[in-house]
Amino acid sequence: MTFSIVARCPASGALGVAVSTAVPAVGAMCIYVRAGVGAVSTQSWVNPYLALDVLELLERGADAESALAQALGGDPAADLRQIGVIGERGHGAAWTGAQCTGWAGQRTGATYSVQGNMLVGAATLDAMQAAFEATPDLALEERLMQALEAGQAAGGDMRGRQSAALKVMRDEAYAWVDVRVDEHENPVAELRRVFELARRQVTPFVEGMPTRDDPGRAPPPAVTRMLLTPPPSRPGATQRARGTADERIDELARWIGVEFADDRIAHNLSVYRTILTEIDKLRTLDLSERHPAIVFDMTRVYHATERTTERMTERTAEHTADRVAGERP
Whether residue 74 contacts residue 66, with contact meaning beta carbons closer than 8 Å, is answered with: no
Whether residue 132 contacts residue 146, with contact meaning beta carbons closer than 8 Å, is answered with: yes
242: confidence class by pLDDT, cuts 50, 70, 90: very low
At 8-41, the pLDDT tens digits run 999 999 999 999 999 999 999 999 999 999 999 9
Look up the CATH number of domain 2-201. Answer: 3.60.20.10
Looking at the chain, the whole-number percentage of residues with pLDDT higher than 90 is 63
Residue 181, classed as helix, strand or coil, is strand
Given this model, what pLDDT does residue 224 score? 82
β-bridge partners, 175: 169
245: confidence class by pLDDT, cuts 50, 70, 90: low
CA-based angle 128:86:107, to the nearest 5?
A: 35
The amino acid that residue 251 corresponds to is E
54-78 average pLDDT score:
97
Tell whether pTM > 0.95: no
141: confidence class by pLDDT, cuts 50, 70, 90: very high
184-202 average pLDDT score:
94
Whole-angstrom distance, CA of residue 174 vs CA of residue 35: 8
Residue 157 DSSP class = B
In 7-47, where does DSSP find H-type helix? Answer: 26-30
213: confidence class by pLDDT, cuts 50, 70, 90: very high
What mean pLDDT value characterizes the chain?
85
284: confidence class by pLDDT, cuts 50, 70, 90: low
Whole-angstrom distance, CA of residue 88 vs CA of residue 59: 9
Q: Would the pLDDT of 250 be above 80? A: no
Whether residue 129 contacts residue 22, with contact meaning beta carbons closer than 8 Å, is answered with: no
The residue among 162, 222, 215, 168 whose CA lies nearest residue 1 is 162
122: confidence class by pLDDT, cuts 50, 70, 90: very high
Peptide bond before 176: cis, by omega within 30 degrees of 0? no
At 306-327, the pLDDT tens digits run 666 677 777 776 766 666 666 6
Burial (0-12, 13-18, 19+ Cβ within 10 Å), 325: exposed
Whether residue 8 contacts residue 14, with contact meaning beta carbons closer than 8 Å, is answered with: yes
User: How far is residue 98 CA from its own chain's centroid?
Assistant: 30
Whether residue 25 contacts residue 43, with contact meaning beta carbons closer than 8 Å, is answered with: no
Residue 214 DSSP class = -
271-299 average pLDDT score:
60
Report which of residues 8 and 279 the model is more confident about: 8
Given this model, what pLDDT does residue 274 score? 67
Burial (0-12, 13-18, 19+ Cβ within 10 Å), 138: middle
Looking at the chain, the whole-number percentage of residues with pLDDT higher than 70 is 75
Return all residues near 126 (Cβ < 8 A) that are at least 6 apart: 107, 154
Report which of residues 296 and 153 the model is more confident about: 153
